[in-house]
């Protein structure tokens, strides 16, 4: 029994990260019909920004754990929101109105640029880097379940952020405009929605959320690499596809569902931890073939 | 009925052209709608009516010519589409384009977006001022929905895709009204409706017009055009071929030819008398 609770909490932790990345995928697709494969690299970039922040903090003598962690989140999310906005402006906006495939290929190229830039220009960027995670070994027991403070913190952060996204999407003008734009961009334009502003905001929000996931990933695994964005990109994309691309609630569901599935594979399949990615990609393929609009999605009628 | 613009002009175009490659979808169009009018555009399929609407909304780039809005004749060519809406033109669509996964109320609220502060940071903190603003907006949206009695009000928290076809058309009109336009463009408002529903839409359009909105509509249903339009404009091949009262336009030989007479090239080669005879028969 305890082992299941333990696994469930693991699922919540990584599910939070998947969800945060998936929300980005889904809103980029919603507003721009863009499958943004640079998003995984933004996630990785955030982890390196946070790593740099922690190094600088240590260098100037700020060693108070919570302060450093808060600074890491703030800087990583801020930098990546700006980076997302920049990508939108220089890489995707000039291609407005072009076929979605062109945007997709552009996003791959942008992703390569970010990945290689980190590898080349971050000191020792090609090697795995130890990540500052002061509470990873501070654990406590409830019944037979061992929990680290980091894990509890990460679950809390992701749930809070996901809840903020939910509020943003359901309760605000911007969220309503975003959902309207996702359904029918031209109709939204003609109803007076400033679609350019919606797209810009989507990139700020999506990238900042991906950045939060990047920092969480570093804190959880205590190590970051320049090439960790690719797998996370595919996982986030899979989570978004499970929920139906363009559907924010779907991405939230998809992120946690995917994590739960992964944890179950690890627990139930012999040598499961080695095969979990295989199962994830099988899920991706199966959903793309049989339910391309996702488990929650209503079929996408109009595209473009 | 001749053109005597005694009242202020709401919308006018001069030499408006739009080509798609070699196709002249709209060609050298001089057109005007006066404040408070109901004007109907008729014409065969492909005559450039919907293209004209899309040009007004600046969804397409104008090839050449001008579009002016209001008595101050403000040039609107080149403005972004969402600004056109802000200046007071709002439209419905020939094929319905509601936000089907949003609720009925939310669809109307999207139409009101530009009237509201879009600061989304404050939305997370939800200060009192914002809550008040949202409450007011919601009341105004409900008020707009009540234009159609209980039909939409009773469904206001249901997703738009759960509405019946006629109610969806009504919701499109409600969404337009909510954006507080001066000029409303209706693209085939009764397409696919039965005669009873058509009559109801006619009275709706009259009510809208009486509330002070200027209406420009595209319609194939001649009952509706005859019933509501103060002035009728006929299009063919992207050009205005006739203009005036319903009876005047419908008896115009060019209009009749546009609708009925151009199916055969050899008909044109036939002697004039034969063509005239056939025309008389068909009218």
Mean pLDDT over all residues of chain B? 83
CA distance B266 to chain A (A): 42
| Cβ–Cβ < 8 Å for A136, A219 | yes
- Give the strand order in the sheet containing B74-75: B23-34, B9-20, B64-69, B74-75
**Could you tell me the pLDDT band of residue A293, with boundaries at 50, 70 and 90?**
confident
**CA–CA gap between residue A185 and residue A42 (Å, rounded):** 26
**Within-domain flag for A6:** no
CA distance B157 to chain A (A): 13
Tell me the chain A residues in contact with residue B161 when contact means C-beta distances shorter than 8 Å. 298
Q: Please give the backbone phi and psi of residue B72, each rounded to the nearest 5 degrees, phi first.
A: -80, 0
> A201 and B120: CB-CB below 8 Å?
yes
Residue of A164, A179, A195 lying closest to B99 (CB–CB) = A179
DSSP per residue over B19-37, as a string? EETTEEEEEEEEEEEETT-
pLDDT tens sequence across B242-277: 888 888 888 888 888 888 765 555 544 444 444 444
Please give the class, per CATH, of domain B9-88+181-251: alpha beta
Domain boundaries of chain B, sorted by first residue = 9-88+181-251, 101-180
> A180 and B114: CB-CB below 8 Å?
no
**Could you tell me the pLDDT band of residue A124, with boundaries at 50, 70 and 90?**
confident
Q: What is the mean pLDDT of residues B63-91?
A: 88
CA distance A174 to chain B (A): 6
pLDDT at A120 over 50: yes
Q: What is the mean pLDDT of residues B119-123?
A: 59
CA distance B91 to chain A (A): 7
pLDDT tens sequence across B180-234: 889 999 999 888 888 998 999 999 999 999 998 999 999 988 889 988 888 999 9
**Could you tell me the pLDDT band of residue A303, with boundaries at 50, 70 and 90?**
very low
Tell me the chain A residues in contact with residue B93 when contact means C-beta distances shorter than 8 Å. 187
Report pLDDT for B281.
47
Rounded to two decimals, the pTM is 0.82
pLDDT at B115 over 60: no
Q: Which two tokens stand for residue B78?
A: 């080149």
**Within-domain flag for A159:** yes
**Within-domain flag for A296:** no
Range of the domain at A122: 20-229
**Within-domain flag for A264:** no
DSSP per residue over B143-181, as a string? HHHGGGTHHHHTTTTSBGGGS-HHHHHHHHHHHHHHT--
Tell me the chain B residues in contact with residue A164 when contact means C-beta distances shorter than 8 Å. 124
Classify residue B237 as exposed, middle or buried by CB count within 10 Å of its CB (0-12, 13-18, 19+): middle
**CA–CA gap between residue B270 and residue B268 (Å, rounded):** 5
Counted domains in chain A? 1
Tell me the chain A residues in contact with residue B126 when contact means C-beta distances shorter than 8 Å. 171
């Amino acid at each position: 029994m305890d082992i299941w609770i333990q696994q469930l909490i693991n699922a919540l932790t990584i599910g939070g990260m998947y969800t945060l990345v998936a929300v980005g995928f889904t809103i980029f697709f919603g507003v721009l019909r863009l499958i943004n494969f640079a998003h995984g690299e933004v996630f990785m970039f955030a982890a390196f920004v946070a790593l740099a922040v922690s190094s600088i903090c240590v260098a100037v003598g700020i060693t108070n754990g919570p302060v450093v962690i808060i600074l890491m989140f703030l800087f990583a999310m801020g930098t990546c929101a700006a980076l997302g906005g920049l990508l939108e402006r220089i890489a995707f906006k000039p291609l407005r109105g072009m076929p979605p495939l062109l945007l997709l290929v552009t996003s791959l190229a942008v992703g390569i640029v970010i990945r290689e830039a980190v590898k080349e220009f971050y000191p020792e960027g090609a090697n795995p880097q130890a990540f500052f995670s002061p509470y990873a070994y501070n654990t406590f027991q409830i019944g037979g379940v061992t929990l680290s403070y980091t894990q509890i913190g990460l679950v809390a952060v992701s749930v809070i952020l996901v809840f903020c996204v939910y509020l943003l999407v359901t309760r605000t003008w911007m969220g309503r405009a975003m959902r309207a734009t996702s359904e029918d961009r031209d109709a939204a334009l003609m109803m007076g929605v400033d679609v350019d502003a919606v797209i810009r905001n989507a990139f700020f929000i999506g990238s900042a959320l991906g950045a939060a996931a990047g920092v969480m990933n570093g804190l959880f695994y205590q190590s970051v690499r320049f090439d960790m964005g690719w797998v996370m990109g595919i996982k986030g994309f899979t989570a978004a596809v499970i929920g139906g691309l363009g559907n924010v609630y779907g991405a939230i569901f998809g992120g946690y569902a995917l994590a739960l599935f992964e944890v179950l594979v690890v627990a139930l399949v012999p040598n499961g931890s080695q095969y979990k990615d295989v199962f994830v990609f099988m899920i991706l393929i199966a959903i793309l073939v049989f339910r391309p609009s996702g488990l929650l999605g209503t079929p996408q009628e109009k595209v473009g | 009925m001749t053109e005597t613009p005694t009242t202020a002009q709401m919308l006018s175009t001069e030499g408006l052209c739009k080509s798609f490659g070699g196709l002249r979808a709209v060609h050298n169009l001089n057109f005007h709608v006066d404040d408070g009018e109901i004007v109907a555009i008729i014409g065969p399929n492909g005559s450039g009516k919907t293209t004209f609407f899309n040009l007004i909304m600046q969804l397409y780039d104008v090839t050449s010519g001008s579009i002016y809005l209001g008595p101050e004749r403000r040039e609107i060519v080149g403005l972004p589409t969402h600004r056109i809406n802000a200046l007071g033109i709002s439209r419905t669509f020939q094929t319905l384009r509601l936000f089907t996964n949003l609720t009925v109320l939310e669809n109307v609220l999207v139409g009101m977006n530009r009237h509201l502060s879009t600061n989304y940071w404050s939305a997370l903190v939800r200060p009192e001022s914002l809550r008040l603003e949202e409450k007011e907006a919601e009341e105004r949206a409900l008020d707009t929905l009540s234009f159609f009695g209980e039909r939409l009000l009773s469904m206001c928290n249901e997703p738009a895709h759960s509405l019946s076809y006629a109610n969806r058309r009504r919701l499109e009109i409600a969404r337009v009204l909510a954006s507080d336009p001066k000029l409303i463009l209706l693209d085939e408002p009764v397409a696919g409706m039965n005669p009873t529903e058509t009559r109801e839409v006619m009275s709706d359009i009259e009510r809208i017009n009486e509330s002070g909105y200027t209406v420009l509509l595209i319609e194939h249903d001649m009952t509706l055009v005859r019933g509501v339009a103060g002035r009728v404009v006929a299009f063919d091949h992207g050009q205005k071929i006739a203009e005036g009262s319903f009876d005047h336009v419908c008896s115009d030989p060019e209009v009749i030819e546009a609708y009925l007479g151009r199916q055969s090239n050899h008909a044109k080669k036939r002697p004039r008398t034969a063509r005239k005879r056939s025309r008389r028969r068909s009218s």
